[in-house]
Structure formats: structure tokens, C-alpha cells
Structure 1
Amino acid sequence: MKSYETKTISKISVARGQLKTAIELYFQESEPVAVHALAANAQAILSDLYRKRGLISPIENCIAKLVKTEKQDEVRKAIKGPKNYIKHANKDPDEYYEFRPAQAQFVIWEACEMYKTLTKETPKWAMIYWLWFYMHHQDVLTHPTGKQLMQQAYSLYRPEEGRAGFYKNVSAAYDIVAPEFPNILTT
């Protein structure tokens, strides 16, 4: 039997890889169900790690801190909606689902929050995603510093370049302003 190379992985490294890939695919405007599935898998691993450490639900903390009261239930539904449909076929093998690609945005947002809390790391790809998220969800944000930073990010956004252009432009500017990002977005 042929021997294959092995790689030692951890739960957090698996979640990181899935989340980073989901974000990259999101900005490439790739297959939205695949983006959602990767993000939801990462979110599930990170949720389990959270519970094992006795931490309170990160999405509830984020919702309370960042989302207007009248929009909180809408955000919760967007996060939980399609996860089980995508993951399983044992209960509803012939059923259809009205998938909303925008739902992945909230799953990615939560997973980024959990990853940062668990690892104390704020990767470049997460910071760029947070900026995009804040720019496009002003209607639900109450976080004043997030709004301020989001407004600055508009100068790097060219709608005609789409998400890929935003990722490229912000990525290029990131190293110049990176030291300011972690505290501005998450305080």
C-alpha cells in the first residue's frame, strides 16, 4: 500500500483554513452555497471550542453590542437559517430551500469574532471582511468606531470593481494602517 504524506492539524487550524477560504471565495464572488458551507463549518468548530472553554455565545454578545434592538431577531435568523439544510439530507432529502446568499455574511462575521476571541489574533483577511461587513450593514450597526472606520474604507471602495476590487485595494492599504484596526473594530 502506498504511503501518503500526513499533516498534523488542530481544530483551530481547521476552522482558520475554512474561514479564510470562505472569505477569499466570498470576495471572489464564488459559489455562495459553498462559501456559506465553509463559513458554517468553521463557525460550528469555533462554537464548540467556545463552549468547551465555558464562554458565552459570541453571537449574542456581538448582537447586543453591535446590532440595533429592532434588527436583532433578523440577524439571528440570518445566521441560523440555512446551516442544517446545507449540512444534512437525512430529514428533508427532497425539500427545496430558498437560499439567500447574503446570509453567509452574518455567519462569516460571527466566525471572525469567535476566531479573534479564541486565538487573540486578528488576521488581515478578517479585518478586510469586517470592513466590508460594516460598510454594507450600516442599517444594523450601533458601533460608533466601526462606523467611523467604515466611512474611511469607502475611499478604497469602487463599486464597479466589486468585492474583489475592495479586497485588493484594502489589502494593499492594510499594512500602512494595520496597527489601528484591532482595537477600532472590536472595542
Structure 2
Amino acid sequence: MSLPITKIEAARSQLETAIRIFLTDGDPVSIHTLTNAARGILQDLGSQRGVRGLMEEAIANVDPHLQKVVREVVARPRNFFKHADRDPDGTLVFSADVNIANILDAVTLYQELTGETPGICLAFLAWFFVRYKERLREAFSKSEGAQAALDAVEHLDPKDKASFLEWAR
């Protein structure tokens, strides 16, 4: 079966699958690999349109002499999961929490490039807002829309990530 697919459709498919795995507490390596595949496409499309993701914006604010090192640290897990030519017997201590930042970066890039927020991306954003509401409280207070969004999902338990999938349906 032949399936014509655009780059943005491929990125969306990878991102939605990664989020579904994340919200059902699935395999963190698969989440990381899928998210970074989507981010790679979205970053390439963004660079052609002058759009930078959250991570690129953050790295741009790092001392220019350290930016290469920061990029290498960020890329280390992605490269480890993708290649075995340099260290076929290597081991990586992987923090699955990095998946949260990667998914957030990919979701916001996707939104910026398409003007859309697919339902499953909305479920992730809702989980993120509830999970980190204390840290985001000041930002919420400055935006009626953000506060209303938080109010709509604040009753959900961030430990039960799958409940956000149900909410978004």
C-alpha cells in the first residue's frame, strides 16, 4: 500500500504517537525517539520559515561559547538511541524527564507552523499546565485564556496522565 504523506503529516503522526505513549506511561526511549524525529522535521521546516522552537530560543540565550556544548548535551540521548557506530557497547544514563521538554518544544513548534493544536497535543498541554501549575501561576495570572484553560482541567490528577487523554476526547 502506498501512502502519500507530507513532512508536516509525518511530524504530526510521530508527535501524536509519542504523546499517546507518554500519557499512558509507556516506553521512554520510544517517546524520546519519536519526539525527536518529529522535532527534527519541525525544526527544519521552522528554520525555513524563520520559526525557532523553545529549545532553540533557550540555547540562543546561552553564552555563545557554550552553545555547542549545550547542543551536544541535548543531542546525546537522541544520538545514542539512533547510532551504534562509535560506541556499540555503550550505556547511557537517561533521564526520561527530558521527554517533557522535548514534547513541549515539538507541540509549540507544530502549533506555530500550522496554527493547529491536535486534540492529543491539547491533552499533553493540559497535563503540563496542571503538573507545573505552581511554577506557571504568574503566567496564568496575566492571561485570562490560560487561567480559564487551567480552571477547566485543574481537577485532573497529573499522576493519572491517561485521564488527560480521556478529557481531550
For residues 14 and 153 of structure 1, do their structure 2 counterparts lie closer, same or farther at Cα, with a shift above 3 Å needed?
Answer: same
- Does residue 65 of structure 2 align to residue 109 of structure 1? no
Q: Distance in 1 between matches of 2:158 and 2:41?
A: 34
Say which SS state the counterpart of residue 99 (structure 1) adopts: coil
Deviations along 1:50-88, one digit per CA (max 9) or x if unpaired, are 1122x1422157659xxxxxxxx9xx8985452222122
Q: Is the 8 A contact 1:19 1:39 kept in 2?
A: yes
Q: Is the 8 A contact 1:79 1:106 kept in 2?
A: no
Say which SS state the counterpart of residue 82 (structure 1) adopts: helix
Map of 2:164 onto structure 1: 166
Superposed CA RMSD in Å reads: 2.9
For residues 45 and 111 of structure 1, do their structure 2 counterparts lie closer, same or farther at Cα, with a shift above 3 Å needed?
Answer: same
Say which SS state the counterpart of residue 41 (structure 1) adopts: helix
Q: Is the 8 A contact 1:39 1:108 kept in 2?
A: yes
Q: Is the 8 A contact 2:51 2:112 kept in 1?
A: no
Say which SS state the counterpart of residue 18 (structure 2) adopts: helix
Q: Distance in 1 between matches of 2:158 and 2:97?
A: 20
Unaligned residue ranges in structure 2 (runs of 5+): 60-66
For residues 51 and 24 of structure 1, do their structure 2 counterparts lie closer, same or farther at Cα, with a shift above 3 Å needed?
Answer: same
| TM-score for both structures, normalised by structure 2 | 0.78
For residues 139 and 93 of structure 1, do their structure 2 counterparts lie closer, same or farther at Cα, with a shift above 3 Å needed?
Answer: farther
How do 1:138-177 and structure 2 match up within 5 A? 138=133, 140-141=135-136, 143-144=139-140, 145=143, 148=147, 149-150=149-150, 152-157=152-157, 159=159, 162-168=160-166, 170-172=167-169
- After TM superposition, what 4+ stretches of structure 1 lie above 6 angstroms from structure 2? none
Higher alpha-carbon deviation: 86-95 or 143-152: 143-152
Q: Distance in 1 between matches of 2:135 and 2:76?
A: 18
Q: Is the 8 A contact 2:15 2:106 kept in 1?
A: yes
Unaligned residue ranges in structure 1 (runs of 5+): 65-72, 173-187
Map of 2:63 onto structure 1: none
